[in-house]
Amino acid sequence: MEPTTRLDARFSAENAAPTSWAEARDQLERAETYWLSTVRADGRPHVTTLLAVWQDDALYFCTGAEEQKARNLEANRNCALTTGASALHEGLDLVVEGVAERVTDPGKLKRLAGAWEAKYTSEWHFEVADEGFVNTAGGVALVFEVAPAKVLGFRKGDYAQTRWRF
């Protein structure tokens, strides 16, 4: 799916060009770590790092049912996933905003488990059971899909802020 692309000149260098969606999507696929931002029931923010995979035009992550992020998503499924470089003068930072939806379909979970292992090696092998992933320790992880509603890209060096809407 191709989003609408817009350069925000307020936060971009003069003569900057928008970053292509293809470049942003490639980085979402290749990134190794992401930061998930959710909101606690009392309104306080919660941010944590995690692993994720980009597949079928969405980001997927997993978490234990008792972890804070899972409890937050029970009350408010709106979230943001971010990734990028912490460098000031180079790289592309990305913010994916969307709604986290549980994935419980066994066929989709099996494909996602394969994608996790292909990206992160056999160290991240999951079996599929109980409407989630089962890790080697026997724990069950809930799997969530975040289809982007909006993605923000902050390219450094030539400083361009790009917004993609879906």
- φ, ψ for residue 51 (rounded to 5)? -100, 150
Residues 6+ apart with CB under 8 A from 14: none
Contact 1, 156 (CB under 8 A): no
Give all domains of the chain, ordered by start, each with its CATH number. 4-165 (2.30.110.10)
- Where are the extended beta strands (E) located within 8-139? 34-39, 45-50, 53-55, 58-64, 78-83, 92-103, 127-129, 132-134
Distance CA 10, CA 26 (A): 25
pLDDT in tens, the chain (166 residues): 789 999 999 999 999 999 999 999 999 999 999 999 999 999 999 999 999 999 999 999 999 999 999 999 999 999 999 999 889 999 999 999 999 999 999 999 999 999 999 999 999 999 999 799 997 777 899 999 999 999 999 999 999 999 999 9
